[in-house]
Structure formats: C-alpha cells, structure tokens
C-alpha cells in the first residue's frame, strides 16, 4: 500500500511512484510535524528535518520556550493563537469569545481507496488506484476533532488533502477559518508561479521571486474568477520546463479562495490553500461537522513538465466523470457570434443545414431562446420557450436538427435573474440583495440565492421541463457575473458568513441533479468564458468554455496558461467569426482551425455567411480534428516555445502514451522575411524509435529529433500556422 505507519519512529509515510511525503508525531503531546516532501526516498527516520533536536527543542524538554517551539515547528495543520504567528489554517470562536486553538494527534486510519466528500467535488479512486490516511487530531479544551485526509495515488505523483471538523462540545463553535492544506518547507530560492488575468485574457502565467512576507492569489468574487486561478506553485529559481524542483497546490473548489506562500525571518516557507477566511464563517452546533474542499498537491523534480503531466493525468482519470470522460467530443456549431439574439427557427435551421453538409456533429442554440430575450436586459429566470422565435418549441427544432443528422444542444444561465422577468416579479426575495440598498446590477441581472433550496428547486423545475421536452444532448451552463450584495433573507444574522460557501454547494447540487436526471448529457460549464475554469467544475462537466475571447492569437496565450494545469480534453476551443468580435483582428481561417484543433473543437459563426473558399476547408479541418485531436486529448503535453514570452511564435506538442505519434502545433504570429527556419527541440519521444515527419518526409530516431531538433519553416506573412505529425515506424520501416 502507498501509505504506511512506522510505529517505532512514529512516522507516517505516503509514497507515489516518484515522491515521498513524511509526517512525524512529535513529543508526548503528539504534535503533528511535516518532515519531508520531495523525490522518493527509502528512509523513514528523517525527524532531524523538523529541527526538534536543536533549540528551542520540544516542550517536554524545554517548556519554558514553548512559544519559540510553536513559532517555528513545521506543523501539518496550523491553529491560531498559541504562538504560531504564520498563517493559521484553523481559527475558531467559542461562545465565550475565545479564539485560541491547537491540535495534537489522537489516532489514525489507513485504508485502500478514497472516500467521497459530502456535497463537494473531489478526485476519486479505488483501492487499486490509491490509499487514504485519516489523521484524527483534537483540541481537548474546545472539544473539537479535526480529521486530516491524505490520499496518495499509486500510479500518479499526486497527493490530495482535505479536512473535516467535528464539534464534540456542548456548545456552538464558530469557524472563522478552515483552510484545506498547509505545507511547511525550507526556502530553496523559490519563485512563485500563478495564473492571473481578466475577462478575455484569462490564466496568464506569472512568475516572481519569493521574498519575505506573504505572497499569493485569492478571489472574493464568489467564483474562482477570471482574475486568479486557485493554484500556486513554488519552483526553484533555476527550475525550467524540464528540470528543477516544483511544489504545487490546486484547489478543487469554485468559490472564494486563498492560495498563499509566506516566507518567514527564519527562512521557512508556509504554503496554504483553502476557502478565503474573509466573508467566511460557519457555525458548528454540537455534533455537527464541516467538510472543507480538497487540495491537490504535486511535487515534481522534472520541472514544469512533470507537474503538468501529473495534473493532466489526475484530472483525466480521477476527476472528470461520466460517459464523456474518455470519449471523443463532438465537433459543434454554436450560433452565438453568428446571430447573437437575432434569430428565428428558419435562421437556425439554415445554419444547421450548412453544418450537416460540412460534417459537424452537434448544433448548439445559444442565448435568446427563452422568455422575451431579444437582448441581455430581460428574461433570465423565465426558462420557457419564446414561441415568437421558435413556434414549434424546443421539441420541433430538435426534431428538425436531428433529421439533419445533428445532435441538439442549448445554452442556459440558471444562477441569474433579470429584474425584468416573471420570476423576479413573483419572487424578488429570490435574488441576493441587501434590504435598503440599491441592487448592484451587472449586465442588468442579479444573482439568485442558491443557498436556498426553494430557489434551486424553482429554477431546476423549469430547466428540467425544458430539457425533458426535447431530445437535448448538450447543455452550456453559463454564469455572467460575480456575487455582490451577499445577504440571504433565510440566514440568521450570525450565519450570513456562510452564504458564499452555501451558494457554491447549491451550484454543485444542481449540476449533480442535472447529471443524475439526464445521464447521457454533455455538460459544458461557462462562466463568461473562463471565470470558473477550476477543478471543482470539472467534476461535473468534462469540458469548460476556455474564454469568451475567441481571437486565435489571444487564444495562444490563454490556452498556454490553461494547459499548464488542464488537459486539452477539458478546453472548449472554437473557430470564430472574422474579423474577431473581441479585438477586430483578421486571421486566416486555417490558422483559427489549427489553434482550436487540440481542444473540444467547434465553430462559433454563421456558416451561411462564410465564403465558398472557407466552407470548402471545413471538411478537411474536421478530418484533421478527428484524426489528430486524440493525440492532444490523451497524450503528454510539452511546451516548446511561448508566444507569451517571445512575442513572435508559438509551439507546443503532445505525444501519445505509447509514444507512437506526436503532434506539433506551430503558429507564426509575426512574419519576418529575413528569418531563417526556427529551431525547436521536441520532447517525450522514444529515443530508440524512428519517426517520420509528416511535412518533409524525413525519418530520424527519436533521439535525433530531440537532440538535433526540428526546423520549423519560415512561413509567409503574419498569423500563419502548421501542424507537424511525427509517426513511429515499425522495425520494417512501415508506419
């Protein structure tokens, strides 16, 4: 089993294929200390790393300096108020107003497999995939039990952590912070790596030196956000894509979060992650428990490549669920940039006929089909068909779409309500708002109070009726604003701090109900594009709309940052209208398709308005998608050159797990008539096998391609691209 306990040494050992994580029980009181996390080692007796054999020593030997001990001890889960002045994972308030807490080891359990987290998304696995350690800790003075969950995966270098807090006292205890993971390390000249952005330019990679004090990212928007990704990595300053030590945390959650690294005057670094303590509280009545979300830990000594491959493999096989987890995704047409709100049934069918003729699989009707939705000022919350546009309803449109050989999908935004809607007129209290204050509108819409079951039930009944009325194979679930005016008329004054978390739990519950009631449904999440692109949402939907920015050149940077953590199988990528509706840029139809090919592929335009020349290219693009997308969807990803860094060109590749094929995507953003061919060095090939170059026809060993490199041709003009496929020959030289 990947987890063991050395009774003599009092050391817990968690092993993945290439890493080891050690936890020690220290002193008679049972302090839980972090000993080691890094490349795999055989030793258990590493207690010296906790510095317990040097001043200030442990309290049983030197209780006069207990404060000094607590201020530097590398604890597994930090409490507040006893002397550890670094970031606290657990902070409470008792009925008497006491806010001090501290945990010691009580007992443990080790077993195969992994438990589900009640009401929360989490990675999963059976006894053949992973093992779990439960560390039961107590604060005897408070009557509080804290269970630390660790799961080590047997074939993937990932460890997950979560926390459950149980009130065994006879009075209420108020949680004011309940983070999910803490990792204390000695500084190794670390950089921090984060993903920043904004709407239409999400997940831009940012790398900075770790200085003194606190450094991190967070969201208080009620969503993981366009601005920050719930991710933080510490990388040795010399670490590269291929080499060096990297520690990473990623939060399986879709709401407010804190991800922080703190460097102390002693040269120690504390890395924490969890629900943001600001605007959070949770009242635990006697006997009640609180489950914190999961954090994924990854340690790689092969640079960012190793970290990325671990996240990709874990999410593909142990987070995404359902019938679409491993399946090729349908090539779709979405009418949004083609028509916006201005459509009727005949207009949609005209586009669908072109889509069917070109060989697409799925037609998606976007915003504007319900209520009286002629623009974005009304009708959210009224999930009944606008018969002015669709006189035969969803059923008739779906039937006509299906007759063409296409599946049918729709857009919804269940979490929002327009003041100009039947739902709001009947139930204005269903929206989040503070009595006596003007409502904070965004896109002329308010947020529904999904912390309330009756609100969720009301909305879901409408959605269920619409989906049940027709043959609908796909749903795009949108969410177009942050949460403000966070007050619920159904929560007591002392519980208003529970609202943000209860809201997220409500979203999860509704998406799970949708999947339970429509088990074959392909659900794609979309939060103004990339505003809730996080591991929590992947538990419910196998793909997420990557960004509302569909410009191919901007997408190079967006998709690079996204691919640092997420496999291409999770990314919605479409060939969009031109000039770009985001920035007015004009790019070749071929390049737009090349940029979209690695992900969940589709078209976001009016096919009836395309030129004959562009229409003629679609069958070939679809053939390339069906032939080569599986390499990107299931293979190992490598970044070879970054447009975000060099400002000129972009190159990445994917290699199948059996190393029989590799696909290289090359986009020349800026042309230069003086430039020679560009030299890049593939990675991940089998050194001993020979690979045939699809463009030049040359064949060389994997070793030669990787060490000698590949020359990328000088293409004429800006925004040009090329796909290169390397195919392994057999021993007879055949493909």
Task: Print burial letters for 680-690: b (CB count within 10 Å at least 16), e (below 16).
Answer: bebbbbbeebb
3-state SS string for 5-18 = EECCCCEEEEECCC
**All domains of the chain, ordered by start, with CATH?**
3-318 (2.70.98.60), 332-631 (3.20.20.70), 640-728 (2.60.40.1180)
45 as an active site residue: the answer is no
What is the residue-wise DSSP string for 693-712?
ETTT--EEEHHHHHHH-EEE
What is each CA distance from 388 to 235, 312, 351, 366, in whole angstroms? 57, 45, 19, 16
- Which helix (DSSP H) or strand (DSSP E) does residue 109 occupy? strand 104-112
Compute the distance between CA of residue 314 and CA of residue 443 in angstroms, rounded to an integer: 37
**CB-CB contact of 178 with 71 (8 Å):** no
Is pTM beyond 0.95? Reply is yes
Catalytically annotated residue among 129, 478, 534, 636: 478
Q: State the virtual CA torsion across 250, 254, 258, 261 in degrees, nearest 10.
A: 10
Task: Please give the pLDDT value at position 557.
Answer: 98
Compute the distance between CA of residue 102 and CA of residue 559 in angstroms, rounded to an integer: 43
Compute the distance between CA of residue 657 and CA of residue 316 in angstroms, rounded to an integer: 13
- φ/ψ of 458, rounded to 5, equals -65, -45
* Long-range pairs for 579-582: beta carbons < 8 A, 24 or more residues apart: 580/550, 580/551, 580/552, 581/337, 581/550, 582/200, 582/548, 582/549, 582/550, 582/551, 582/554
**CB-CB contact of 158 with 347 (8 Å):** no
What is the residue-wise DSSP string for 66-88?
HHHHHHH--BSS-BSSSS--S--
**Averaged pLDDT, 68-84:** 96
Task: Please give the pLDDT value at position 266.
Answer: 87
What is each CA distance from 324 to 193, 328, 329, in whole angstroms? 31, 8, 7
What is each CA distance from 151 to 13, 88, 293, 564, in whole angstroms? 11, 22, 14, 23
**Averaged pLDDT, 461-470:** 98
Q: Is the pLDDT of residue 733 over 70?
A: no
pLDDT digits (tens, 9 = 90+) for 607-666: 999 999 999 999 999 999 999 999 999 999 999 999 999 999 999 999 999 999 999 999
Compute the distance between CA of residue 601 and CA of residue 296 in angstroms, rounded to an integer: 28
Q: Grade residue 437 by pLDDT with cuts at 50, 70 and 90.
A: very high
Compute the distance between CA of residue 78 and CA of residue 183 in angstroms, rounded to an integer: 10
3-state SS string for 176-243 = EEEEEEEEEEECCCEEEEEEECCCCCCCEEEEEECCCEEEEEEECCCCCCCCECCEEEEEECCCCCCC
Task: Please give the pLDDT value at position 676.
Answer: 85
Structure tokens at 453: 């079951």
**Could you tell me what percent of the chain has a pLDDT over 90?**
98
Task: Please give the pLDDT value at position 465.
Answer: 98
**Averaged pLDDT, 548-561:** 98
Phi-psi region of 83 (alpha: psi -120 to 50; beta: other; left: phi over 0): left
Catalytically annotated residue among 366, 367, 534, 548: 548
Residues contacting 608, CB < 8 A, separation 6+: 350, 351, 354
Q: Grade residue 675 by pLDDT with cuts at 50, 70 and 90.
A: confident
516 as an active site residue: the answer is no
**Averaged pLDDT, 71-95:** 96
Task: Please give the pLDDT value at position 343.
Answer: 98
**Averaged pLDDT, 460-488:** 97
- Average pLDDT over the chain reads 97
Task: Please give the pLDDT value at position 673.
Answer: 74
Task: Please give the pLDDT value at position 144.
Answer: 98
Q: Grade residue 483 by pLDDT with cuts at 50, 70 and 90.
A: very high
Neighbours of 505 (CB within 10 A): 18
**Averaged pLDDT, 51-59:** 95
pLDDT digits (tens, 9 = 90+) for 331-355: 999 999 999 999 999 999 999 999 9
pLDDT digits (tens, 9 = 90+) for 111-140: 999 999 999 999 999 999 999 999 999 999
**CB-CB contact of 72 with 266 (8 Å):** yes
pLDDT digits (tens, 9 = 90+) for 167-195: 999 999 999 999 999 999 999 999 999 99
Q: Grade residue 581 by pLDDT with cuts at 50, 70 and 90.
A: very high
Compute the distance between CA of residue 411 and CA of residue 392 in angstroms, rounded to an integer: 18
Provide the strand spans (E) within 450-504.
474-477
Neighbours of 711 (CB within 10 A): 14
């Amino acid at each position: 089993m990947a987890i063991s306990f050395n009774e003599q040494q009092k050391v817990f050992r968690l092993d993945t294929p290439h890493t080891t994580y050690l936890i020690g029980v220290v002193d008679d009181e049972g302090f839980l200390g972090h000993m080691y996390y890094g490349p795999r080692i055989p030793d258990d007796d590493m207690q010296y790393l906790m510095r317990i054999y040097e001043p200030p020593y442990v309290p049983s030997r030197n209780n006069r300096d207990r404060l000094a001990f607590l201020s530097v001890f590398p604890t597994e889960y930090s409490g507040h108020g006893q002397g550890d002045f670094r970031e606290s994972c657990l902070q409470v308030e008792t009925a008497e107003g006491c806010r001090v807490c501290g945990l010691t080891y009580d007992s443990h359990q080790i077993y195969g497999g992994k438990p589900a987290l009640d009401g929360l998304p989490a990675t999963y696995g059976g006894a053949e995939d992973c093992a779990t350690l439960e560390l039961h800790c107590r604060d005897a003075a408070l009557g509080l039990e804290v269970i630390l969950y660790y799961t080590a995966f047997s074939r993937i270098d990932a460890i997950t952590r979560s926390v459950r807090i149980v009130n065994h006292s006879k009075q209420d205890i108020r949680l004011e912070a309940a983070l999910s993971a803490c990792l204390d390390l000695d500084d190794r000249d670390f950089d921090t790596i984060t993903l920043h952005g904004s709407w239409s330019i999400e997940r831009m990679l940012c790398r900075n030196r770790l200085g003194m004090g606190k450094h991190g990212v967070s969201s208080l928007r009620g969503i993981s956000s366009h601005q920050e990704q719930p991710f933080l990595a510490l990388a040795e300053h010399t670490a590269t894509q291929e080499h060096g030590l990297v520690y990473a945390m990623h939060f399986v959650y879709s709401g407010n979060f804190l991800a922080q690294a703190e460097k102390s005057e002693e040269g120690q670094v504390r890395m924490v992650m969890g629900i943001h303590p600001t605007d959070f509280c949770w009242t635990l009545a006697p006997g009640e428990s609180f489950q914190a979300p999961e954090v994924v830990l990854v340690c790689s000594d092969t640079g960012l490549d190793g970290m990325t491959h671990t996240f990709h493999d874990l999410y593909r096989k142990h987070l995404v669920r359902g019938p679409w987890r491993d399946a090729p995704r349908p090539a779709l047409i979405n009418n949004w940039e083609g028509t916006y709100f201005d459509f009727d049934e005949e207009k949609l069918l005209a586009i669908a006929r072109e889509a069917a003729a070109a060989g697409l699989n799925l037609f998606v009707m976007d915003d504007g089909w319900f209520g009286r939705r002629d623009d974005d000022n009304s009708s959210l919350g009224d999930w009944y068909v606008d018969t002015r546009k669709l006189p035969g309803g969803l059923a008739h449109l779906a039937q006509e779409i299906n007759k063409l050989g296409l599946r049918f999908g729709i857009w919804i935004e269940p979490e929002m309500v327009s003041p100009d809607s039947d739902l709001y007129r009947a139930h204005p209290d269903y929206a989040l708002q503070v009595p006596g204050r003007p409502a904070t509108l965004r896109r002329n819409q308010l947020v529904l109070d999904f912390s309330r079951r009756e609100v969720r039930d009301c909305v879901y009944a409408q959605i269920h009726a619409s989906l049940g009325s027709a043959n609908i194979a796909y749903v795009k679930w949108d969410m177009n604003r942050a949460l403000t005016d966070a007050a619920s008329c159904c929560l007591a004054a002392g519980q208003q701090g529970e609202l943000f978390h209860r809201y997220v739990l409500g979203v999860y519950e509704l998406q799970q109900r949708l999947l339970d009631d429509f088990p074959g449904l392909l659900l794609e999440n979309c939060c103004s594009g990339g505003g809730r692109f996080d591991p929590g949402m992947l538990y419910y939907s196998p793909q997420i709309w990557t960004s509302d920015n569909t410009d191919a050149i901007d997408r190079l940077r967006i998709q690079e940052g996204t691919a640092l953590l997420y496999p291409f199988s999770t990314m919605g990528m479409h060939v969009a209208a031109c000039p770009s509706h985001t920035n007015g840029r004009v790019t070749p139809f071929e390049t737009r398709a090349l940029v979209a090919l690695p992900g969940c592929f589709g078209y976001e335009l009016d096919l009836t308005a395309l030129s004959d020349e562009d229409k003629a290219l679609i069958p070939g693009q679809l053939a390339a998608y069906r032939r080569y997308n599986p390499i990107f969807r299931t293979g190992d990803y490598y970044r070879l050159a970054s447009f975000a860094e060099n400002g000129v060109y972009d190159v990445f590749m994917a290699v199948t797990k059996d190393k029989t094929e590799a696909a290289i995507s090359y986009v020349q953003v800026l042309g230069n008539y003086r430039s020679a061919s560009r030299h890049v060095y593939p990675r991940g090939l089998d050194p001993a096998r020979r690979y045939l170059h699809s463009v030049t026809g040359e064949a060389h060993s994997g070793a030669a391609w990787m060490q000698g490199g590949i020359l990328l041709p000088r293409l004429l003009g800006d925004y040009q691209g090329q796909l290169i496929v390397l195919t392994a020959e057999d021993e007879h030289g055949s493909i």
